[in-house]
Structure 1
């Protein structure tokens, strides 16, 4: 019986040791969780800071882009205006001449027209001047009349007013008369 009691007594401390060991094992794991939590909180703070900085940078880029677009709209015709100033100067000088002759007026108008043509060329303002017999292009020409002609149908007979394009965009179509189908 004593052997049984010894075994029970010896079993109890082992069980108690096992119970006592569990809290000891739990104790080391708790600081691990706390360390993980603090590391996670630190990482969260870093990510939040990075997010806030990125958001601020995005707002700055958006604001700068809006300012650039605003400036582009405001000063879009600056180069064209610079090219037109000499044309205006020439016209004002022509009006100041005290006793103009027909020939001096004609010469002044020709020089002013050259300045204007140069200004148009610098700013990619292209003249549309179809020749009689050219195929009618509805993207560049506006036919206001169809007239009987010996030409092929739907070709330009005469030009009433030149058209203009800015780069590849139509500013004003050429006003033409077209040949009537036979």
Structure 2
């Protein structure tokens, strides 16, 4: 293929710069020069390929490292928040020797409230289905009792509350259900 065939038809020799015209003439007349140019272009493309392959490998390694760190430190913020709850419990135990029952009760309630707010900040919600229809997806029936006050299949008592994390069940509520 010559330089003339590569140009759009509307161009004339006057529109082509002197260097381009000279290169077009040389490419068309000297196969050795054309071969050298093709080899140089191939070498340049090979270098581009190697750089792109290396960059792709670096991105893959970086992504793998980021995923590993995400798994490793995913609970870091949650763990730090729980430390405040642990500190509260330790202070309550240390003060228990000289404290009244009322102050221990107040401290326990404050610690429970702190734990509840920490859990809520991280999307952990309590499942307390008392009075609701039994749902085997969210509740685990441990007993069935007859009841005149509740509809059959209704949760009478919650023995152990359940919990969900961002709408996904962590632990089902352990319940007693009204008999059919």
Q: Give the structure-2-normalised TM-score.
A: 0.78
Distance 1:102 1:29, change over 3 A: closer
Q: Deviations over 1:89-129 (max 9, x none)?
A: 11111121241211111011011111111111111111000
SS of 2:49's partner is: helix
Q: Which has the larger radius of gyration?
A: 1
Post-superposition shift, 1:60?
0.7
* CA distance in 1: counterparts of 2:34 and 2:140, whole angstroms: 77
User: 2:27–2:34: 8 Å Cα contact kept in structure 1?
Assistant: no
SS of 2:30's partner is: helix
Post-superposition shift, 1:31?
5.3
* CA distance in 2: counterparts of 1:164 and 1:137, whole angstroms: 14
Which residue pairs with 2:170 in the alignment? 171
User: 2:130–2:157: 8 Å Cα contact kept in structure 1?
Assistant: yes
Which residue pairs with 1:108 in the alignment? 107
* CA distance in 1: counterparts of 2:122 and 2:61, whole angstroms: 30
* CA distance in 2: counterparts of 1:32 and 1:41, whole angstroms: 14
Distance 1:153 1:34, change over 3 A: farther
Which residue pairs with 2:3 in the alignment? none
Post-superposition shift, 1:53?
0.5
Which residue pairs with 2:69 in the alignment? 71
* CA distance in 2: counterparts of 1:29 and 1:63, whole angstroms: 44
* CA distance in 2: counterparts of 1:178 and 1:169, whole angstroms: 23
Which residue pairs with 2:23 in the alignment? none
Which residue pairs with 1:16 in the alignment? none
Which residue pairs with 1:85 in the alignment? 83
SS of 2:54's partner is: helix
Q: Deviations over 1:119-172 (max 9, x none)?
A: 11111111000122x122222111122332343332212111100011122110
Which residue pairs with 1:94 in the alignment? 92
Work out which of the residue numbers 17, 35, 38 in structure 2 matches 1:37.
35
* CA distance in 1: counterparts of 2:172 and 2:116, whole angstroms: 18
SS of 2:134's partner is: coil
Flag structure 2 segments of 5+ consecutive residues without an equivalent: 1-25
What is the RMSD of the two structures over their aligned residues, measured on CA atoms?
1.9
More helix by share: 1
